[in-house]
Amino acid sequence: MGMPAQQTEWTADMARALPDDGKRYEVLDGELFVTPSPRLSHQLVVGSIFVALDAYVRAHSLGLALMSPADIEFSPRRLVQPDVFVAPSTAKGPPRDWRDISSLLVAIEVLSPSTARADRQRKRRIYQSEGVPEYWIVDSDARVVERWRPEDERPEIIADVLEWHPRPDVEALSIQLETLFSDLLD
């Protein structure tokens, strides 16, 4: 008779200790989540969104726009690697190490077949419960963005212009989704 498999409660430190093998390791509420390298179309969308966010964040001194790989640890049981994200500046200035980042202004995931379920369910709930003001799920196939906020039970579906307004004293960032998707994917 076989012995039941021992379940491991994964921590961020355990995931960081895994070999650097090109895969992305995240810990979603104590469970290890492993994803393969993304497709080229995924990376094109990630890069384009990053470029737009980076220019905007720098122009308005909001913090740092970054992209994965990254190790954002909300707790020992929560280590995530959003595709693109903005980390706010702290009282000491911009973050200098992954451990300096404990909150995000926006987190963005570009859907892949291997990550869609986790991005829409597990990671969404984590970002919402951690109080991330906006979580964008970019669906390149449908050419829309699902915008989630902490209190949302359903996403706002955006198909034309995605606007991000992180502070009332700065103008909103506007991303023309039709242009974004057609320039990269057509």
Q: What would the 3-class secondary structure string for 18-50 be?
A: CCCCCCEEEEECCEEEEECCCCHHHHHHHHHHH
Q: Is residue 124 part of a domain?
A: yes
- The number of C-alpha atoms within 13 Å of 83 and in the hemisphere containing its C-beta is 28
- Crossing angle (nearest 10°) for helices 40-59 and 177-185: 140
Q: Each residue of 128-158: pLDDT tens digit?
A: 999 999 999 999 999 999 999 999 999 999 9
Q: Which helix (H) or strand (E) holds 184?
A: helix 177-185
User: What CATH number does the domain containing 123 carry?
Assistant: 3.90.1570.10
Query: Looking at the 3D structure of the chain, how many domains does it have?
Result: 1
pLDDT at 2 over 70: no
Q: Is residue 161 part of a domain?
A: yes
Q: Which amino acid is at 181?
A: F
Helices (H) and strands (E) counted in the chain, each on its own, are 5, 12
Task: Give every CB contact of residue 73 below 8 A, 6+ residues apart in sequence.
Answer: 12, 79, 98, 99, 102
Rounded Cα–Cα distance for residues 82 and 107 (Å) = 6
Q: Each residue of 79-112: pLDDT tens digit?
A: 999 999 999 987 787 788 888 899 999 999 999 9
pLDDT of residue 5: 41
Residue-number span of the structural domain to which 99 is assigned: 42-68+83-185
Q: Is residue 94 part of a domain?
A: yes
Confidence of residue 7 (pLDDT cuts 50, 70, 90): low
Rounded Cα–Cα distance for residues 63 and 78 (Å) = 22
**Percent residues over pLDDT 90 in the chain:** 71
In three-state secondary structure terms, 89 is coil
Q: Is residue 12 part of a domain?
A: no
Q: Is residue 57 part of a domain?
A: yes
Q: Is residue 174 part of a domain?
A: yes
C-beta of residue 157 within 8 angstroms of C-beta of residue 146:
yes
Q: What is the pTM of this model?
A: 0.87
